């Protein structure tokens, strides 16, 4: 009988990050992302995982208290709600210009909050943020940090800052 040692050199330790996925079907799925431990001075972030994933990613879905690993298509994730303030881990967060926006999603949901425009000087408008290459973008609301799939944003309205 073959036994795999828990300290196998092939085992890669992962951190679990709690989140809720909103799929393009409108279904909300609660569970955990699996992220790599620190590489150098920084830890892998959820936005990095989603923005480099061209297909499916593993997600630990919590079904009535029973965890189950499911593969989800990144293209069919409309929005991710994170408990942690993950946007603050992005280099340049503190100095990036802040804009208040309202987004209409393909699910019909309307979400409002603050975005940070991480663009070169002179390209700090909401329209510049909308054309950035990253698929998943941070939106900070009063209650959560969201990652929004820009391909499922139907409308962006810049709001007056309070």
Identify the pLDDT of residue 160.
86
CATH of 86-158, one of 2.30.30.100, 3.40.50.720, 3.40.718.10, 3.30.70.980: 2.30.30.100
Q: Which of 5-14, 53-62, 131-140 has the lowest mean pLDDT?
A: 5-14
State the average pLDDT over residues 133-138: 93
Question: Strands 136-140 and 145-149, how do they pair?
Answer: antiparallel
List pLDDT tens digits, range 54-110: 899 999 999 777 899 999 999 999 999 998 777 777 777 788 889 999 999 999 999
| DSSP string of 69-82, one letter each residue | EEEEEGGGEEEEEE
| Local confidence band at 21 (pLDDT 50, 70, 90 cut-offs) | very high
The residue with greater pLDDT, 95 or 137, is 137
State the average pLDDT over residues 4-32: 81
Q: 138 forms bridges with which residues in the sheet? A: 147
With 0-12 / 13-18 / 19 or more C-beta atoms within 10 angstroms meaning exposed / middle / buried, residue 135 is buried
* Among 113, 118, 115, CA closest to 95: 118
- The structural domains of the chain, with segments of one domain joined by +, span 14-80, 86-158
The residue with greater pLDDT, 89 or 129, is 129
DSSP, collapsed to helix, strand or coil, labels residue 148 as: strand
The residue with greater pLDDT, 77 or 36, is 77
Identify the pLDDT of residue 83.
80
* Among 110, 119, 107, 162, CA closest to 139: 110
Residue 3 has pLDDT above 70, yes or no: no
Identify the pLDDT of residue 2.
43
Whole-model pTM: value is 0.85
**CA distances in angstroms from 26 to 78, 82, 152, listed in the order given:** 8, 17, 12
Cβ-proximal residues to 66 (8 Å cutoff; 6+ apart), any chain: none
State the average pLDDT over residues 9-35: 87
State the average pLDDT over residues 35-57: 83
Identify the pLDDT of residue 44.
85
């Amino acid at each position: 009988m073959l036994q795999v040692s828990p300290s196998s050199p092939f085992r890669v330790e992962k951190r679990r990050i709690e989140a809720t996925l909103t799929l393009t079907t409108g279904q909300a799925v609660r569970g955990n992302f699996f992220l790599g431990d620190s590489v150098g001075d920084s830890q892998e972030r959820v936005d990095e995982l989603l923005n480099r994933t061209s297909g499916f990613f593993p997600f630990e879905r919590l079904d009535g208290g029973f965890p189950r690993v499911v593969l989800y298509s990144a293209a069919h994730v409309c929005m991710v709600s994170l408990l942690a303030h993950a946007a603050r881990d992005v280099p340049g967060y503190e100095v990036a210009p802040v804009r208040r926006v309202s987004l209409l999603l393909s699910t019909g949901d309307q979400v409002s909050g603050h975005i940070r425009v991480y663009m070169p000087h002179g390209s700090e408008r909401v329209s510049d943020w909308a054309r950035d290459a990253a698929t998943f973008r941070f939106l900070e609301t009063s209650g959560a940090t969201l990652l929004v799939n820009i391909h499922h944003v139907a409308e962006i309205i810049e709001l007056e800052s309070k």
